[in-house]
Amino acid sequence: GAVVSQHPSWVICKSGTSVKIECRSLDFQATTMFWYRQFPKQSLMLMATSNEGSKATYEQGVEKDKFLINHASLTLSTLTVTSAHPEDSSFYICSASPPNEQYFGPGTRLTVT
Amino acid sequence: GDSVTQMEGPVTLSEEAFLTINCTYTATGYPSLFWYVQYPGEGLQLLLKATKADDKGSNKGFEATYRKETTSFHLEKGSVQVSDSAVYFCALSDQGNTPLVFGKGTRLSVIA
């Protein structure tokens, strides 16, 4: 089946620094990628929808200047958490979507100290 | 908007017990329905899906039937194993390339 990778799988950073998370579709082209956030023992909340070659669409309450999303190609989307704070610590999961399917990456655990 | 409601956990069962995790949905159209499983420390894995009314999705002994009349997609397994311990998410999608709407998840613990 289709494979979506995320890198890094986990990262620890200091407060105030920026962290970039990559989401790649390895064997298919993804016209759309989604970024979700999951707090401990909670469900996934959609952060933004990323379409190749256009600006991401952010969900209400998600700061677009803090969570920068770039979908530079049909196989790569990046999420950059800028000026990270401890409250940004979370599990970030991407999914990639060719037409009529959706495949999830393994997730990136971010810890901000 | 669309929403998914699933039974709250945690659910604790003995090995070989019967499992049911209830899931109901609200949607304006005719969504596709999914069950995902998340093992500790890992991402989501698609467990099964159904794309239209009366479809039954099945995988690894789990099954769920898309019931349009009751707007439900309950997950069942006849005999659970310790290795089934995980969090299970019910989800829906209006179209193939739209974001999924997830339920809150149900944590299942199976004890030997």
Tens of pLDDT, residues B82-93: 999 999 999 998
pLDDT tens per residue, range B57-103: 999 999 999 999 999 999 999 999 999 999 999 999 887 667 889 99
Contacts of B103 in chain A (CB under 8 A): 43
- Cα dihedral A48, A49, A51, A54 sign: negative
Cβ neighbours of residue A55 under 8 Å, at least 6 residues apart? none
Cross-chain residue pair A100–B44, CB shorter than 8 Å: no
Q: Is the pLDDT of residue B25 over 80?
A: yes
For the stretch A59-109, pLDDT in tens is 999 999 999 999 889 999 999 999 999 999 999 999 998 766 788 999 999
CA–CA separation, B112 and B82 (whole Å): 6
Which residue in B has a C-alpha nearest to residue A93's C-alpha? B43
Q: What's the mean pLDDT in B103-110?
A: 95
Residue A55 has pLDDT above 80, yes or no: yes
Beta carbons of A38 and B38 less than 8 angstroms apart: no
Amino acid identity, position A56: A
**pLDDT confidence of B40, banded at 50, 70, 90?**
confident
User: Judging by beta carbons within 10 Å of its beta carbon (0-12, 13-18, 19+), is residue A35 exposed, middle or buried?
Assistant: buried
Compute the distance between CA of residue B66 and CA of residue B71 in angstroms, rounded to an integer.
Answer: 8
Residues of A in contact with B31 (CB under 8 A): none
CB-CB contact of A25 with A103 (8 Å): yes
The answer to whether the Cβ–Cβ distance between B43 and A101 falls below 8 Å is no
In this predicted structure, the answer to whether residue B24 has a pLDDT above a threshold of 70 is yes
Collect all residues of chain B within an 8 Å Cβ-Cβ radius of residue A100: 95-97
B89 contacts in chain A (CB < 8 Å)? 43-44
Q: B97 and A102: CB-CB below 8 Å?
A: yes
Query: In Å, how far is A101's CA from the nearest CA of chain B?
Result: 5
